[in-house]
Amino acid sequence: MNQLPPYRRRRAHISQFSTAQLHLKNPLVVAFFSFSYPGFGHLLLHRYAAALMLISWELFINNLANVNLGVLYSLLGDFDKAKEVLDERWLILYVGIYMFGIWDGYRTAVDLNKQYLLADWEDFPLSPLKLGAWDLNYLDKRKPWVALSWSTLIPGLGHLYLHKVMVGFFIFGYTIAIMYYSHIPIAIQYSLIGEFAKVSEVLDMQWTLYLPSIHLFIIYDAYVSAVEYNKLCEKELSNYLRRTYQNPNFKLPI
């Protein structure tokens, strides 16, 4: 009769370029980030393949349907202009995937919370160091406020501080591309020299409206990841000390 391995679930996996881990997440928070930008909820869940597909789709279909411009004019109360800029042929395709991202993010967060509780109970031992030809990764305590500060200053640097290399590289490149096409560097230049009238002229609002959701997500994810990495580091050390120094036959003194 085949025997089951002593451990079925791992709490985390350390690779050269990142640390993927299970931890408790609020499904409503995941659904909120999926609502604000499809794919970001899946990034919170470390489902990078699905996140990349949804983010790419959002960028593609949003620009074709002019969803951001429609939202902007709706917030300004100019509903006739909103109807004019929206391309209904593409908008119909946008809605279905958008709703799927929210539903799937919420559903997966609920399921992964259950998986985490089982993995935490099994307490699988984790190697705290990963060496490779390209990079090395190790468990260590990091300061959440430092990750938050770097992410606020330049998106992606907070994730590099946490050694989330792949996510940090993607976020950095993605944000730079959004800023380039929205003409934000030129708008900043005009703002610094006091020519505020030109700021609204050069900004491309279809691209600019991507940035609030992106920036908010990056700051939140960097801070929470730092907190959870610290917890993982403590759990790994606790597991090691119990396995190595806590002899089950040792009699405690009375």
Position 5 in a domain: no
pLDDT tens sequence across 220-241? 999 999 999 999 999 998 888 8
Lowest mean pLDDT across 23-27, 92-96, 111-115, 170-174: 92-96
Lowest mean pLDDT across 6-10, 44-48, 142-146, 158-162: 6-10
Residue 47: which region, alpha, beta or left (left: phi > 0; alpha: psi -120 to 50)?
Answer: beta
Mean pLDDT, the chain, integer:
88
Mean pLDDT of 111-128: 89
Q: For the chain, what is the HEC assignment?
A: CCCCCCCCCCCEEECCCCEEECCCCCHHHHHHHHHHCCCHHHHHCCCHHHHHHHHHHHHHHHHHHCHHHHHHHHHCCCHHHHHHHCCHHHHHHHHHHHHHHHHHHHHHHHHHHHHHHHHHHHCCCCCCEEECCCCEEECCCCCHHHHHHHHHHCCCHHHHHCCCHHHHHHHHHHHHHHHHHHCHHHHHHHHHCCCCHHHHHHCCHHHHCCHHHHHHHHHHHHHHHHHHHHHHHHHHHHHHHHHHHCCCCCCCCC
Position 2 in a domain: no
Q: Is the pLDDT of residue 10 over 90?
A: no
Note if the pTM is more than 0.75: yes
Q: For position 43, what pLDDT does the model report?
A: 92
Position 156 in a domain: yes
- Compute the distance between CA of residue 73 and CA of residue 241 in angstroms, rounded to an integer: 60
Position 134 in a domain: yes
Position 251 in a domain: no
Q: Is the pLDDT of residue 124 over 70?
A: yes
- Name the residue with higher pLDDT: 75 or 111: 111
Position 253 in a domain: no
Q: For position 27, what pLDDT does the model report?
A: 95
Structurally, the chain folds into a number of domains equal to 1
Return the percentage of the chain with pLDDT > 70, whole number: 94
Position 252 in a domain: no
pLDDT band at 250 (very low <50, low <70, confident <90, very high): low
pLDDT band at 87 (very low <50, low <70, confident <90, very high): confident
Domain that holds residue 47: 12-241
Residue 175's alpha-carbon distances to 112, 156, 213, 228, in angstroms, are: 28, 9, 11, 25
